[in-house]
Chain A
Amino acid sequence: MTLLSPAQADEGPRNPFLGLAAQALRNPSVLIGGFIVAAIVIMAAAAPLLGTVDPVRINPAIRLKPPSDLFWFGTDLFGRDIYSRVVYGARSSLMVGVSVAACAIVFGVAIGLVTGYFRRLDVVVMRVMDGLMAIPTFLLAIALVSLTRASVGTVVAALTIPEIPRVVRLVRSVVLTVREEAYVEAAISVGTPTPLILLRHILPSTIAPLLVLGTYVCAQAILVEAALSFLGTGLPPEIPSWGNMISEGRTFFQVMPRLVFLPSLFLALTVLGINLLGDGLRDTLDPRIAKRM
């Protein structure tokens, strides 16, 4: 047995999160995915600075123009600048993706923590979740969207509801394992109030798997929003979103495939980036996470 040298002892415990972050950055999926996501986020944030014009300004005189110095990607069938619409479209997609992931996690964690901990609630809530999961996600989303007039809020709500059961199941599975741990039993035995046990002792264990699931939910939400908009039931048509652009470009696809392919390229790239990031995080944070999902 070797004793710690004074230098080693002085180092003290390293921040575990910093260690994980350093490890994650060595993963090629995290690097490539993170790079793509960062580029799209910067593009969305800096949209007005990137040589764009008003993405919704209609000018029938310059309909369906080919790419030129003035219109880098050409113009669409209403004479709007495609380049500007693609750049601004990143804002719609990211906003929908991030909002859906955040809402699904907030509601899913609340329901999952409580049902996982209180056995009596568990049976009822999980039956409801099973029922919701039996309706294919996309169908439930279009049914919910069809209930109200198209707006950003209803699209986010319609995409969030089908994702909540997945978050609940994940959180519940973590709670069921963690609640048997000795430190939770210890907390119970010293009389820690239940809400405190849930928040302080159980919630932290869900962070890593939720981070991974959150990226998948975000990617899925961006895909479903685009598909809804493509079918004409998603975001209102005046909002520049990639799905709306593909939907409008569809009629001219045979003569001008660019109208469909340009927004498609950015859509696929964004989703690819987020998925790569999620896969990489899953592999570095904890290989066991995959089994829970």
Chain B
Amino acid sequence: MLAFLAKRMLAVIPVMAIVAVVVFLLLRLSPGDPALVIAGDNADPEAVQRIRVALGLDQPLVTQFWVWLRHMLSGDLGTSIFSKLPVTDLILQRAEPTLSLALATMVFAIGVAIPLGTIAGATAGSWLDRSLMAVSVVGFSLPAFVLGYCMIYVFALQLGWAPVQGFTSISKGFLPFLHSIALPALTLGLAYMVLIARITRASVLEMMGEDFIRTARAKGVVERLVVTHHALRNAAIPILTIIGIGVALLISGVVVIETVFNIPGIGRLVVDAILKRDYPVIQGVILLFSAVYVLINLAIDVGYAFLDPRVRY
């Protein structure tokens, strides 16, 4: 078990190293001299040179990379070119809305997808199964921002059930918070929910044909327990895997959905940074989101070992 955990964790290092190199090169390839940007348009060449030396931009690329990597590993993501604030602070200031949105979306998507997918898989060919498959094709084809505007139109403008835009902090009460996060979470969660439901359906369906299901039925286990205790439990690994992979969908979605619903989160931060070409902020957010993605998938890999003894090889 320990060897398995160690192997899994070590495998993350090369992946993150490649991510770091890509993100570092991204910043260095960006047009424009960072020293010139910081010094401003009217700075004299000597001042620019001073800033260049201060930033270490006169060093060879490899040296720059190691210095940069040391900063990143110690949690220093650099300074925004525009607000002059540390990127870490900017991200922390905006973490609450994004984290709330992501968590609410996951709770909704997983909470709906697994029961729905399980029932569809256990009753393959039924009307529920067919409608789930039909909805899933549509769910994949509807861009998140289009769905977002449909949601705003129906639930906020026509029915008045939800605020049109904006975010209410949880410190102002749980219900107002939930009220402001519901539409964005539903919007963001549809594609994720559909993805998980499809895989759940397929895995449960595959398990339903296994011998141990026949055995369970033969010994008189109630059908509901056959499905939940025997089929679903054995289908857990592909379901967990897709929950992890789908986090990429959430991260991409957050960036767009925060713009649609005007939520001041990390997604909005990175979009503003791109429009202003604030490279340290773009770099910091990409690094953070990629690390979160890799770590969630690592946690899921480790989770297999606890769930399924067959994995501990």
> A residues engaging B (CB < 8 A)?
127-128, 130-132, 134-140, 142-148, 219, 223, 226-227, 230-233, 246, 253-254, 257, 260-261, 264, 267-268, 271-272, 275-276, 279
Excluding A143-B286, A227-B143, A257-B157, 4 further A-B contacts by CB distance (< 8 Å) are: A138-B252, A142-B274, A147-B29, A279-B137
Hey, which chain B residues are within 8 Å of A146, CB to CB? 30, 274, 277, 279, 282
How many A-B residue pairs lie within 8 Å, measured between CB atoms? 135
**A248 CB to closest chain B CB, in angstroms?**
13
**A48 CB to closest chain B CB, in angstroms?**
27
The answer to whether B286 touches A268 (Cβ under 8 A) is: no
Given known A139-B255, A268-B142, A268-B146, contact A132–B277 (CB-CB < 8 A): no
Hey, which chain B residues are within 8 Å of A135, CB to CB? 19, 22-23, 286, 289-290, 293
Given known A136-B251, A143-B286, A147-B30, contact A227–B149 (CB-CB < 8 A): no
**CB pairs A–B below 8 angstroms (7 shown):** A128-B18, A143-B23, A143-B274, A143-B283, A230-B145, A246-B146, A268-B146
B207 within 8 Å of A (CB atoms): no
Hey, which chain A residues are within 8 Å of B286, CB to CB? 135, 139-140, 143
The answer to whether B252 touches A137 (Cβ under 8 A) is: yes
CA separation between A105 and B29, bound complex, in Å?
25
Hey, which chain B residues are within 8 Å of A144, CB to CB? 26
CA separation between A260 and B29, bound complex, in Å?
35
The answer to whether A147 touches B141 (Cβ under 8 A) is: no
The answer to whether B18 touches A132 (Cβ under 8 A) is: yes
CA separation between A271 and B19, bound complex, in Å?
30
Hey, which chain B residues are within 8 Å of A272, CB to CB? 137-138, 141
Contact of A131 among B17, B141, B150 (CB under 8 A): B17
Interface of A is mostly: helix
The answer to whether B15 touches A127 (Cβ under 8 A) is: yes
The answer to whether B149 touches A127 (Cβ under 8 A) is: no
Hey, which chain B residues are within 8 Å of A143, CB to CB? 23, 26, 274, 282-283, 286
Chain B residue at smallest Cβ distance from A140: B286
CA separation between A268 and B149, bound complex, in Å?
13
The answer to whether B255 touches A267 (Cβ under 8 A) is: no
The answer to whether A134 touches B143 (Cβ under 8 A) is: no
Contact of B143 among A130, A271, A276 (CB under 8 A): A271
User: Per-residue 0/1 for B80-102: is the Cβ within 8 Å of any A Cβ (1 yes, 0 no)?
Assistant: 00000000000000000000000
The answer to whether A275 touches B140 (Cβ under 8 A) is: yes
Contact of B149 among A139, A233, A261, A271 (CB under 8 A): A261
Chain B residue at smallest Cβ distance from A254: B157
Hey, which chain B residues are within 8 Å of A137, CB to CB? 248, 252
Hey, which chain A residues are within 8 Å of B283, CB to CB? 143
Hey, which chain A residues are within 8 Å of B141, CB to CB? 219, 268, 271-272, 275
CA separation between A226 and B147, bound complex, in Å?
13
Chain B residue at smallest Cβ distance from A265: B146
Contact of A139 among B21, B137, B142, B289 (CB under 8 A): B289
CB-contacts of B6-64 with A (<8 A): 14-19, 21-23, 26, 29-31
